[in-house]
Structure 1
Amino acid sequence: MASIYLIRHGQASFGAENYDELSPLGRLQATLTGEHLARTGLKFDAAYCGTLERQKDTGTLALAAQPDAIPLIEDARLDEVRNDEHLEYLLPKVLETRPDIKAVVDQGLDSSKRFQKVIEAVFNYWVSPDCDEPAIQSWAEYSEGVHSVLRDIIKTQGGGKTIGVFTSGGTIAALTAAVLKLPGSATYQFYEPVFNCSVTQLFYSADRVSLSYFNDCSFLRELSVSRGEKLVTYR
Structure 2
Amino acid sequence: MHLVRHAQASFGAADYDNLSDLGHRQSIALGVALKRQGVRPDKVFIGAMKRHRQTWEGMAAGMGPDAEPEILPGLNEFDFTGLLNARFADGGAPKGMHDDRRAHFRTLRDTMLMWQRDEIDTPPEQFADFSARVRDARDQIAASGVSTALAVSSGGAIGRTVAEITGGPADQMIALQLQVKNCAVARLVISRNGTWLNGFNETPHITAENEQEMLTYS
212 and 135 in structure 1: CA distance in 2 versus 1, 3 angstrom threshold: closer
Q: Are the aligned partners of 2:29 and 2:62 in contact in 1 as well (CA < 8 Å)?
A: no
Give the secondary structure class of the aligned counterpart of 2:213. coil
Give the secondary structure class of the aligned counterpart of 2:196. strand
C-alpha distance in 1 between matches for 2:122 and 2:96: 29
Report 1:148-167 matches (<5 A): 148-156=136-144, 158=145, 161-167=147-153
Q: When the two structures are superposed, what TM-score results if normalisation uses the length of structure 1?
A: 0.86
The count of residues paired between Structure 1 and Structure 2 equals: 218
Equivalent position amino acid for 1:176 in 2: V
C-alpha distance in 2 between matches for 1:48 and 1:94: 39
In structure 1, the gaps of 5 or more residues are: 96-101
Equivalent position amino acid for 1:144 in 2: A
Equivalent position amino acid for 1:232 in 2: L
180 and 94 in structure 1: CA distance in 2 versus 1, 3 angstrom threshold: farther
Q: Are the aligned partners of 1:127 and 1:185 in contact in 2 as well (CA < 8 Å)?
A: yes
C-alpha distance in 2 between matches for 1:186 and 1:69: 35
Q: Are the aligned partners of 2:3 and 2:187 in contact in 1 as well (CA < 8 Å)?
A: yes
The one of 164, 170, 177 aligned to 1:191: 177
1:113 aligns with 2:102: yes
Runs of 4+ in 1 over 4 A off after TM superposition: 92-95
Q: Are the aligned partners of 2:28 and 2:58 in contact in 1 as well (CA < 8 Å)?
A: yes
Displacement, 1:128?
Answer: 1.2
Displacement, 1:92?
Answer: 4.4
73 and 108 in structure 1: CA distance in 2 versus 1, 3 angstrom threshold: closer
Percent identity over the alignment? Answer: 24
Q: For residue 31 of structure 1, what is the aligned residue in structure 2?
A: 28
Q: For residue 206 of structure 1, what is the aligned residue in structure 2?
A: 192
C-alpha distance in 2 between matches for 1:66 and 1:199: 15
C-alpha distance in 2 between matches for 1:167 and 1:189: 17
1:52 aligns with 2:49: yes
Equivalent position amino acid for 1:80 in 2: E
Q: Are the aligned partners of 1:128 and 1:185 in contact in 2 as well (CA < 8 Å)?
A: no
Give the secondary structure class of the aligned counterpart of 1:209. strand
Q: For residue 136 of structure 1, what is the aligned residue in structure 2?
A: 124
Give the secondary structure class of the aligned counterpart of 1:184. coil
Report 1:45-84 matches (<5 A): 45-84=42-81
For residues 103-125 of structure 1, give each alpha carbon's deviation from its aligned partner in whole angstroms, at most 9, with x where no partner exists: xx136543211111111111111
For residues 115-165 of structure 1, give each alpha carbon's deviation from its aligned partner in whole angstroms, at most 9, with x where no partner exists: 11111111111111434x345210000101011110111012x16x11111
Displacement, 1:83?
Answer: 0.4
Give the secondary structure class of the aligned counterpart of 2:149. strand
In structure 2, the gaps of 5 or more residues are: none
93 and 142 in structure 1: CA distance in 2 versus 1, 3 angstrom threshold: farther
Q: When the two structures are superposed, what TM-score results if normalisation uses the length of structure 2?
A: 0.92
Equivalent position amino acid for 1:155 in 2: A
67 and 18 in structure 1: CA distance in 2 versus 1, 3 angstrom threshold: closer
Give the secondary structure class of the aligned counterpart of 1:51. coil
Mean CA deviation greater in 120-129 or 27-36: 120-129
Give the secondary structure class of the aligned counterpart of 1:106. coil
Displacement, 1:65?
Answer: 3.1
C-alpha distance in 2 between matches for 1:21 and 1:107: 21
Q: CA RMSD in A?
A: 2.0
Equivalent position amino acid for 1:58 in 2: T
Displacement, 1:220?
Answer: 1.1
Give the secondary structure class of the aligned counterpart of 1:65. helix
C-alpha distance in 1 between matches for 2:97 and 2:84: 13
94 and 203 in structure 1: CA distance in 2 versus 1, 3 angstrom threshold: farther
1:234 aligns with 2:207: no
Q: Which has the higher helix share?
A: 1
